[in-house]
Amino acid sequence: MRLSNDLIQDINRPDINDHKNSFDQISSKLSKKGIDTPDIIEKLKAFQIAIPSWALGQGGTRFGRFLTGGEPRTLEEKIEDIGLLHALNGSSGAVSLHIPWDIPENVDAIKTFATDLSIKFDAVNSNTFQDQPDQKLSYKYGSLSHTDPNVRKQAIDHNIEVIRQGDALGSKALTVWLADGSCFPGQQNFKKAFQRTYESLAEIYDALPADWKVLVEYKPFEPSFYSTVINDWGASFNLANKLGDKAFTLVDLGHHLPNANIEQIVALLLFEGKLGGFHFNDSKYADDDLTAGSIKPYQLFLIFNELVEGMHHMDKKFDLAWMIDASHNLKDPLEDLLQSVEAIKMAYVQSLIIDRKKLWECQESNDVVMAQEIIQDAFRTDVRPLLAEARLQTNAAIDPISAFRKIDVRKSLIRERGMKSVSSGL
């Protein structure tokens, strides 16, 4: 299924006047504060957030999975679904693939297919947390950190193969997330496991093409419940430093112990030049993989505040991998992804409208009250008309969720693919 430009414009037409009124109001309010609205709109138009190939179907939980119907059955259909999102929101012009869930049968054909929908290939993800049916050795006791060099070699070779696949598609980064760890005290020698992981990663690093990066993702627990080898940003940062200039830390918002100050982690990684990218999601308890901004929108905004703050001090190009890593159990996956993208862009714009000069002054003079007033004023500004304007200017929908429902996209997908289609991945 593809959405034509004309169809989206027909849906926009009745809402254009109302939108223009709200947009004019916020533009004049912001211009009184010296904020350049056209510049924000341009930044929004350029901002693209990659959709993970594994989030287009129902993820479910380990207790069960409820069907949505019309789930994409093949890589083409996954990319087609991202094309629907991109047509509606103008900001989902990239896909992050998970290998071997998404091995393309015909690389050239899939590239043409994606290009046709204006979709690029973002970071590719390796998978050494599951055994595949044709796999020789098991990852039950780890992969890159395994005690057996043959298992480590198999996991290294897999990562190198993922780089090869990604390179053919035009990706420029490999994301490595390891489930390696232990479930019981005494089971694993922490030091040896970390050293082996480093040595394995170094072999993968050596196989990176010159213009590639490796993003090292950390996570405190699950599926390892006592210890995880790359458990926090310190472990990942350490590895990234040891590996070299092409290695960075990837922050998945769900991969922290409760109450961690993620915005501070982001600020420090950015300052050290080692922030590689994000997996956006939200959580109440652990790695809940909920819609970005659904539980802690203020935290999401504070993270973007640090990113924008960091950009002011960086001479290098601001080149991070922005990706969603969510899983859906109740909502239509496509609607959920539209909501996540919207929340991420909202946090971005709210942090762009912070009066940063005034904030710095307050910070330097220890004016605690005014510093808080400044950032909360930005957070409490309804920036949705700016997002809608950026969409309108790129021929996307003023209101993506409402357009999705008016077109009844899910019904068409069910008609095309059936009620019981199941997408590959988690």
Q: Compute the least distance from the CB of residue 310 to Mn ion, in Å.
A: 21
> In the block, which residue shows the tokens 């989902």?
92
- DSSP 8-class letter at 291: P
Task: Report residue 372 as tokens.
Answer: 């808080």
Q: Measuring CA to CA, how many Å separate 284 from each of 251, 294, 316, 363, 374?
A: 17, 10, 35, 30, 27
Residue 282's beta-bridge partner residues?
290
Among 252, 287, 289, 332, binds Mn ion (CB under 5 A): 252
d(C-alpha 324, C-alpha 340), whole Å: 8
Interface with ligand PSV in residues 313-332 (CB under 6 A): 325
Q: Which stretch binds Mn ion (CB under 5 A): 1-9, 25-33, 133-141, 247-255?
A: 247-255
Query: Per-residue contact track with ligand PSV, 343 to 382, x per CB under 6 A?
Result: ----------------------------------------
Asked whether position 180 contacts ligand PSV by CB under 6 A, the answer is no
Note whether 54 binds ligand PSV by CB under 6 A.
yes
Spatial distance between the Cα atoms of 399 and 272, rounded to a whole number of angstroms? 38
Dist. CA 184–CA 340, nearest whole Å: 36
CB 354 within 8 A of CB 308: yes
Nearer to Mn ion, 51 or 87 (CB): 51
Does 78 bind ligand PSV (CB under 6 A)? Our answer is no
In this structure, what token pair is assigned to residue 311?
């950009």
Kindly state the helix (H) or strand (E) to which residue 112 belongs, with its residue range. Answer: helix 107-116
3-state secondary structure of 252: strand
Task: Go through the chain and tell me how many residues it has.
Answer: 426
Residues 6+ apart with CB under 8 A from 30: 37, 40, 353
Nearer to ligand PSV, 251 or 347 (CB): 251
CB of 146 to ligand PSV, least distance (A): 18
Q: Is 279 in the site for ligand PSV (CB under 6 A)?
A: yes
Q: Find the helix packing angle between 384-393 and 16-32, rounded to 10°.
A: 120
122 binds Mn ion (CB under 5 A): no
DSSP letter for 398, please: S
Q: Which does 58 bind (CB under 5 to 8 A by kind): ligand PSV, Mn ion, none?
A: none
Question: What's the min distance (Å) between Cβ of 287 and ligand PSV?
Answer: 5
Give the one residue of 12, 53, 68, 125 binding ligand PSV; rule: CB under 6 A. 125
Indicate the residue among 58 and 381 with the shorter CB distance to ligand PSV: 58
Q: Decide which of Mn ion, ligand PSV, none touches 54; Cβ closer than 5 to 8 Å per partner kind.
A: ligand PSV
Q: How far is the CB of 101 from ligand PSV (least distance, A)?
A: 9
Q: How many helices (H) and strands (E) does the chain have?
A: 16, 11
What mask of x and - would describe binding to Mn ion in positions 324 to 363, judged by CB under 5 A?
-x--------------------------------------
User: Hey, what's the torsion of the CAs at 282, 220, 225, 214, to 10 degrees?
Assistant: 100
Binding partner at 335 among ligand PSV, Mn ion, none, C-beta below 5 to 8 Å by kind? none
Residue with smaller CB distance to ligand PSV, 215 or 359: 215
Binding site for Mn ion (CB under 5 A): 252, 279, 325
Binding site for ligand PSV (CB under 6 A): 54, 125, 177, 217, 219, 252, 279, 287, 325, 426
